[in-house]
Amino acid sequence: MKTSSIDVWFLTISLFLAVFFWYVMFLLRPFNFWAEMAGATLFLGGVGIYRMGSTLGFRRLRTPRAWALGIGSALVLYLIFLLGKVLSQRIFPFSSEEISIIYTYRTEGNPLVVLLLLLFLIGPCEEIYWRGFVQSSLSSLLGKFQGFLITSLFYGLIHLWAGNLMLFLAALVCGLSWGWLYQKQRELAPVIISHALWDALIFVILPVQ
């Protein structure tokens, strides 16, 4: 996929908007957190669909292979976070407090509503934007590895607005994991499934606290 100068400007503007949305969500917080997150990811997901269209390959969501990869990678990532919790408590004395702060966001919404948002809106829309649009575009511009690395770093860095090191590290690990999966498979479907299921597990079903 060749990327024109217009596409570069569109990508740059969308990234500035993503930075602004995360700033509003984590620092200004004018509304309910989940309403803000749903609105931001829906907008960015729409940007991804508008720019990438049929190349996103939504039909592959129906394939057993996509589900196997998605479920398997979500479970592996969840186990990594279980181990990460133990290690972080030994390395960072403040990690337990910061992890608890992350989970206070759950109290801003009904658990069932949060679960449905994570599964069907937030997780999928984030992947449509970050991997489907940003990583694809940067890989076209700079090369596959550079596109993967820059997207993953950017995905982690915008979470610094929360002022929470554990959240930044979590977002960075997730960005690297889903970015690597997308780079290797060149399919968005398993990454969408992985992100949505991992979100549901870590935030609602089996929290790591």
Spatial neighbors of 8 by CB under 8 A, at least 6 apart, are 137, 141
Global confidence as pTM: 0.95
Would you say 66 and 187 are in contact if contact means Cβ atoms under 8 Å apart?
yes
Q: What is the mean pLDDT of the chain?
A: 94
> How confident is the model over 129-185, as pLDDT tens digits?
999 999 999 999 999 999 999 999 999 999 999 999 999 999 999 999 999 999 999
Q: Domain spans of the chain?
A: 5-205
Tell me the per-residue pLDDT of 35-92, one tens digit each, with 9 for 90 and over: 999 999 999 999 999 999 888 888 889 899 999 999 999 999 999 999 999 999 999 9
Segment 94-121 mean pLDDT = 95
Give 3-state DSSP helix, strand, coil % of the chain, rounded to 5.
90, 0, 10
Give the whole-angstrom CA distance, residue 188 versus residue 166. Answer: 27
Could you report the per-residue pLDDT of 1-42, keeping only the tens digit for each?
A: 455 676 899 999 999 999 999 999 999 999 999 999 999 999
